């Protein structure tokens, strides 16, 4: 019996790099290995080659240790690993889904304010959420009256780009902001001002782009640097959510952003807890973070039914209380690789392929295959 195809929808840049094997942080061989075990063939496709109603699509398919560019039947199940922000792309993906394509993580870029509002619907999650509002001059003044430290960040950006910090000082307020809004910014500037006199730079940024304002969380620290935890939460072979792994992201010295792209580093969370917080029961804290993360994705997936693969950023206070920071719909899995957590890194590819097998088994005429 011929093995079915499962699509992995990728962005144009990654698609073009497949023949050379220079695929950056994406390890395509992990998809291939897991797909073989689950009984299907992975094919890597791009959105420009997909059209509603068509029966075939161009794709890269693994063969004899290489990737062959060929034409395959349009897969019934597709895992989205691209970010598509054009309205035309969104309409195409919606049409494909309406036509019967099982496309999971179809949308993987959500506004931070939207996510916050979904989570606020769960009264048990509310104590774990920082105060958050849409940015405006009046909202900023209100938040400055309520809190001594704020984070101001773009509503839809990722990897720490454009994040600013506002802190109360004896003489007024200090704004810390990135020297550039590039993904690789490694330097920050500061600006001092008094209460009502909001700097033109800050007002200008809020006018040009949608920002949110958040209460700055009292993050636990490691070697004097704030850290948070990336928690990979995915649906797997049985269709249920599971925590694949968690890894700490530590800010560079003197910085407030933990993102690796902005100079942060990664470390096993258990090591941090043992070295810095020996009074806290590490296993209990990590289990609490896992249960908290599962509660978050249960709430989110109730409102976002195609959600299947996310990376949550979770902070803990010095006494181990978990706090939600944000949800990443396209998880940057390489943090586990950088931390030397090879099995967890590999599992972040395996679970989505297991979920593809689960979805295949729901289709009429598809015989169930075990792992």
Q: Is the pLDDT of residue 254 over 80?
A: no
**Model pTM above 0.75:** yes
Mean pLDDT across 350-367: 90
State the Cα–Cα distance between residues 371 and 155, nearest whole angstrom.
Answer: 40
Q: Each residue of 167-196: pLDDT tens digit?
A: 999 889 999 988 766 555 567 788 898 877
Residues 6+ apart with CB under 8 A from 332: 25, 159, 230, 260, 311
Contact 309, 234 (CB under 8 A): yes
Query: Which of 84, 4, 101, 99 shows the shortest CA–CA distance to 48?
Result: 84
Instruction: Give percent of the chain above pLDDT 70.
Output: 94
* Pair type for strands 102-104 and 77-80: parallel
Mean pLDDT for all residues in the chain: 91
CB 135 within 8 A of CB 208: no
Least confident of 65-74, 270-279, 350-359, 360-369: 360-369
Contact 291, 284 (CB under 8 A): no
- Give whole-number Cα distances, 120 to 29, 140, 311, in Å: 39, 20, 19
Residue ranges and CATH numbers for the domains of the chain are 5-108 (3.40.50.20), 131-215 (no CATH), 219-340 (3.30.470.20)
* Closest listed residue to residue 334, CA positions, set 325, 346, 351: 346
Q: Residues 205-245: pLDDT tens digits?
A: 899 899 999 999 878 999 999 999 999 999 999 999 999 99
Alpha helices in the chain (DSSP H): 12-17, 28-38, 87-98, 112-120, 137-146, 200-208, 269-276, 282-303, 334-338, 342-362
DSSP state of 278: T
- What does the pLDDT read at residue 60? 98
What is the tens place of the pLDDT at every residue in 71-129?
Answer: 999 999 999 999 998 899 999 999 999 999 999 999 888 899 999 999 999 999 999 99
Of 161 and 350, the one with more pLDDT = 350
């Amino acid at each position: 019996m011929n093995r079915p195809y499962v699509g992995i929808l990728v962005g144009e840049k990654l698609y073009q790099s497949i023949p050379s094997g220079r695929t950056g942080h994406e390890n395509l061989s992990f998809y291939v290995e897991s797909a073989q075990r689950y009984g299907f063939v992975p094919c890597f496709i791009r959105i420009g080659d997909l059209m509603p109603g068509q029966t075939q699509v161009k794709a890269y398919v693994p063969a004899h240790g290489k990737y062959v560019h060929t034409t395959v039947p349009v897969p019934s199940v597709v895992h989205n690993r691209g970010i598509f922000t054009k309205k035309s792309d969104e309409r195409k993906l919606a049409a494909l889904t309406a036509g019967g394509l099982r496309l999971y993580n179809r949308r993987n870029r959500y506004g931070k304010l939207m996510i916050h509002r979904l989570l606020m619907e769960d009264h048990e999650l509310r104590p774990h959420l920082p105060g958050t509002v849409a940015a405006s001059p009046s909202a900023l003044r209100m938040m400055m009256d309520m809190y001594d430290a704020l984070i101001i960040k773009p509503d839809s950006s990722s990897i720490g780009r454009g994040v600013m910090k506002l802190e109360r000082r004896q003489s007024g307020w200090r704004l810390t902001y990135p020297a550039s809004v590039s993904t690789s910014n490694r330097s920050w500037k500061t600006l001092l001002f008094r209460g009502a006199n909001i700097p033109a730079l800050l007002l200008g940024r809020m006018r040009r782009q949608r920002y949110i304002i958040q209460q700055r969380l009292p993050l636990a620290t490691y070697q004097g640097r704030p850290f948070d935890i990336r928690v990979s939460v995915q649906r797997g072979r049985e269709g249920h959510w599971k925590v694949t792994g968690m890894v700490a992201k530590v800010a560079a010295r003197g910085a407030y952003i933990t993102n690796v792209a902005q100079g942060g580093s990664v470390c096993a969370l258990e090591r941090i807890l043992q070295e810095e917080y020996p009074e806290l029961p590490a296993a209990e804290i990590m289990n609490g973070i896992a249960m908290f993360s599962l509660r978050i994705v249960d709430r989110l997936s109730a409102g976002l039914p195609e959600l299947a693969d996310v990376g949550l950023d979770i902070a803990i206070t010095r006494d181990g209380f978990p706090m939600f920071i944000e949800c990443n719909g396209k998880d940057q899995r390489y943090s586990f690789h950088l931390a030397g957590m090879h099995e967890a890194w590999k599992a972040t590819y395996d679970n989505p392929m297991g979920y593809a097998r689960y979805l295949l088994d729901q289709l009429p005429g598809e015989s169930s295959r075990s792992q």
